[in-house]
Amino acid sequence: MSYAHALEQPRRRPNLADPWHRLTGRWHNGGVEQYSLGQSRGMHKLRRLRFRGGFEVTEHRMDLENLPDAFRGFRIVHLTDIHYGLYFPAEALASLVEMTNELEPDLVAITGDFVTRSRNYIEPVAEILSGLRASEGVYAVLGNHDFRVGPAEITNALERHGIDVMRNQHTSLRRRGQRCYLAGIDDYYYRADLTKAMRGIPQGAPTILLSHNPSIIDDAAEMKISLVLSGHTHGGQVRLPLVGCLYGRSEERMRFKKGRDSLGATQIYVSRGIGTVVLPVRYGCPSEIPQLVLEPHREYATRSAIADGWLFARPHARS
């Protein structure tokens, strides 16, 4: 599938007044810009900014309480914070899609921030992401940048291209007669309604929650949700030696800002994401494509094995 047409737009030479016009225009439009696709200048601009488009693929084994055996080895590829815009052209996004498909996921979860500021990127990002393939589907939630630009427009574009957008709702995943639940909420600061999303899910059922902002972790833990997938923080984006990132460098300050953590029985994975904001650069914090492999919790698996008449529980890999 070719995405070359996404960059076939007239280009003009920038002038010194551009930054001021962009700033004042953004102010009058509530933070939204209307820059054209052609202004990205494609991969040339990325090379000039020393962005190499490299994505680090990570793998994590997640033990979930009450996970049915039919979902043993279920593979989720988690994408987040794409920020398709001036500094992330079509070629890089197409490469991301190809890499994701090569992982052969059962499900692709996208946790928001598809674009940055410009509505002109909404349809192209949806079109390119339509190339994602997963046996159980591609599901998404919206991030804070999506709400600033146009949540209805982004939702409609994504759904036209085969991506299910979850706005405070859930669905059930079925395998061999067994079920696992997937829920998704709006951004934490834009009317996220976890109670509504969870309504109808049996108590104690294994549930995966998609939430752009990891700040939902306290509420998720109170509801004993099995696993939360989030982004938003970019992992700090720029992490300097000794200084750390904007969140600080201590373990306490970095909790629920990057990587794997848990609160009570609820596990969370916060991806570093794909794109950038404010500064079009990453340092010490590369873009990430996490793949999460689900396994029944060891104690639950042992109980299930005994119930099935097994003498020993099957072995489980852990990350």
Question: Is 8 part of a structural domain of the chain?
Answer: no
Question: Is 291 part of a structural domain of the chain?
Answer: yes
Q: What is the mean pLDDT of the chain?
A: 79
Q: Which residues contact 38 (CB under 8 A, 6 or more apart)?
A: 7, 8, 9, 10, 11, 12
Question: Is 16 part of a structural domain of the chain?
Answer: no
Domain ranges, residue 213: 58-242+249-303
More confidently predicted of 172 and 19: 172
Question: Is 165 part of a structural domain of the chain?
Answer: yes
pLDDT score at 307: 38
Bridge pairing between strands 107-111 and 169-175: unpaired
More confidently predicted of 45 and 57: 57
Q: Which residues contact 114 (CB under 8 A, 6 or more apart)?
A: 82, 83, 84, 121, 122, 125, 126, 129, 140, 142, 143, 145, 146, 154, 158
The two tokens of residue 277 are 């904001």
Task: Specify the residue for token string 């030696």.
Answer: 241
Q: Is the pLDDT of residue 1 over 70?
A: no
DSSP state of 16: T
Neighbours of 270 (CB within 10 A): 29
Contact present, 51 and 284 (Cβ < 8 Å)? no
In this prediction, residue 225 has a pLDDT band, given cuts at 50, 70 and 90, of very high
Strand partners, 263: 266
Residue 288 belongs to a domain with what CATH number? Answer: 3.60.21.10
Amino acid at 235: G
- Kindly write down the DSSP assignment for every residue of 278-306, as one continuous string: SSS--BSS-EEEEEEEEEE-HHHHHHHHH
Question: Is 158 part of a structural domain of the chain?
Answer: yes
pLDDT, mean of residues 131-160: 97
More confidently predicted of 15 and 188: 188
Q: Is the pLDDT of residue 180 over 90?
A: yes
pLDDT, mean of residues 94-119: 94
CA distances in angstroms from 256 to 84, 187, 268, listed in the order given = 24, 16, 8
Question: Is 40 part of a structural domain of the chain?
Answer: no
Question: Is 178 part of a structural domain of the chain?
Answer: yes
The tally of domains found in the chain comes to 1
pLDDT, mean of residues 157-168: 98
CA distances in angstroms from 302 to 63, 266, 295, 297, listed in the order given = 13, 20, 12, 9
CA distances in angstroms from 176 to 69, 72, 173, listed in the order given = 9, 12, 10
Q: Is the pLDDT of residue 126 over 70?
A: yes
Question: Is 311 part of a structural domain of the chain?
Answer: no
Q: What is the pLDDT of residues 11-55, one digit of tens each?
A: 334 444 445 555 555 444 444 444 444 444 434 444 433 334 478
Q: Is the pLDDT of residue 293 over 90?
A: yes
pLDDT score at 40: 42
